[in-house]
Amino acid sequence: MALQLSSACCTCFSGICHGRRVRARRIRAVASEDFAILKAEEEKVKLGGSELKVTRLGVGAWSWGDTSYWNNFEWDDRKMKAAKAAFDTSVDNGITFFDTAEVYGSRLSFGAINSETLLGRFIREKKEKDPQVEIATATKFAALPWRLGRQSVVAALKDSLCRLGLSSVELYQLHWPGIWGNEGYIDGLGDAVEQGLVKAVGVSNYSERRLRDAYERLKKRGIPLASNQVNYSLIYRLPEENGVKATCDELGITLIAYSPIAQGALTGKYTPENLPTGPRGRIYTPEFLIKLQPLLNRISEIGEKYGKTKTQVVLNWLIAQDNVVPIPGAKNAEQAKEFAGALGWRLESEEVQELRSLASDIKPVIGFPVENL
């Protein structure tokens, strides 16, 4: 006798099966997210010869609170919430390294809110919900002409700590070389380490010669130079051409790459008809974007192979070089989620070299030796 099911039973049975499928999909989704977080934790790397370990990809907070370069000269509550969502999404996906600076969103910009203040607020709010979360915070000293000597570095760091609401930071960097000499600034970095205000120290926008000088001066005090933060992307490879990357590799200094997606130009979202806003529109011109298209097409093809976006491919291009930690700027949760997808896989070495070769004749109109400051 065949088993007969009433329509009610079929509906119920179907509902049970559907519920199980939904739960299974949710379990797989949660497992996938957990795996991504675990993978980010596993892939943490030491910065240079220091003991500080950070995720292979960080997030830059240059745009947070800024009104002079980003955000179309205004900062409002909507953008504040978007930045907070970018922070939370990054942490929830295992990215816990954040880079800011005392001049980001500085009082020199009308309507701006200091990026350090925002980052500190986001960290506190996250820790209130999850006291166990660990955030690696990096900030920078502005080598302004009137700041002289080692004591200016420590004093500025203490001001940054006040804005961040922290007793120490993981990484403190000289934002750019000083015009009056840098020995005092380097000594100030060493003092900050010895006073327990930082775990590691680095520089930013330093040439090969300055990099070697800083390395040797700190080495005499038994302090490693952890990093050099420079503009570096697939279409801005000056660090490869001027000896900076080779020196970092030689001395064991991590290269932190800012503008790793060329301020959005490598995402493919800009076209000759849809230029980026603000100063970027004068850099990534229609002519340049037309020349960029063949490279973007190949990036897209490689991305299809891995199920990745253009952004994830170009970030992985940097990660695949091992001694490079890219710090793309995340303005919202969607961008942060996409950045996390650059982790947990690796381009083949042939693909890394192919993309470098395809990009070899492409030069931006202008670089950003000190982030347009």
- CA 116/CA 140 separation, integer angstroms: 10
> Which one-letter amino acid corresponds to residue 324?
V
Which alpha helices (DSSP H) does the chain contain, by range?
A: 7-42, 77-92, 115-129, 150-164, 183-194, 208-219, 238-241, 244-251, 280-283, 286-306, 310-319, 333-340, 349-358
Dihedral of CA atoms 214, 216, 221, 226 in degrees, nearest 10, equals 60
What sign results for the dihedral spanned by CA atoms 175, 177, 178, 179? Answer: negative
Select from 349, 333, 341 the least CA-distant residue to 313.
Answer: 341
User: Domain locations in the chain?
Assistant: 39-358
CATH architecture of residue range(s) 39-358: Alpha-Beta Barrel (3.20)
- CA 55/CA 94 separation, integer angstroms: 8
Block residue for tokens 């379990």 = 27
What local confidence, expressed as pLDDT, does residue 107 receive?
57
What local confidence, expressed as pLDDT, does residue 276 receive?
81
Q: What is the residue-level pLDDT of the chain in tens, covering all 373 positions?
A: 333 333 334 333 344 444 444 444 444 444 445 555 565 556 799 999 999 999 999 999 998 987 777 666 678 899 999 999 999 999 999 999 999 999 998 655 555 689 999 999 999 999 999 999 999 999 999 999 999 999 999 999 999 999 999 999 999 999 999 988 899 999 999 999 999 999 999 999 999 999 999 999 999 999 999 999 999 999 999 999 999 999 999 999 999 999 999 989 999 988 888 888 777 777 888 888 989 999 999 999 999 999 999 999 999 999 999 899 999 999 999 999 999 999 999 999 999 999 999 999 887 655 544 433 3
Dihedral of CA atoms 204, 82, 342, 224 in degrees, nearest 10, equals 30
What one-character DSSP code corresponds to residue 274? B
Select from 137, 129, 71 the least CA-distant residue to 105.
Answer: 71
What local confidence, expressed as pLDDT, does residue 14 receive?
41
Query: Strand pairing partners for 228?
Result: 203, 255
What local confidence, expressed as pLDDT, does residue 37 receive?
58
Q: Which residues contact 7 (CB under 8 A, 6 or more apart)?
A: none
The pair of three-digit structure tokens given for residue 288, joined into one six-digit string: 């340049």
What local confidence, expressed as pLDDT, does residue 223 receive?
98
What local confidence, expressed as pLDDT, does residue 70 receive?
63
- Residues acting as catalytic residues: 104
Q: Write out the DSSP string of 146-159.
A: T--SHHHHHHHHHH
- CA 282/CA 258 separation, integer angstroms: 19
Q: Which residues contact 288 (CB under 8 A, 6 or more apart)?
A: 265, 364, 365
Select from 35, 36, 57, 51 the least CA-distant residue to 322.
Answer: 57
Per the CB < 8 A criterion, the answer to whether 267 and 261 are in contact is yes
Dihedral of CA atoms 42, 344, 118, 200 in degrees, nearest 10, equals 40
What is the SS3 assignment for 364?
coil
| 36-61 per-residue burial string, b: 16 or more CB within 10 A, e: under 16 | bbebbeeeebebbbbebebbbbbbbb
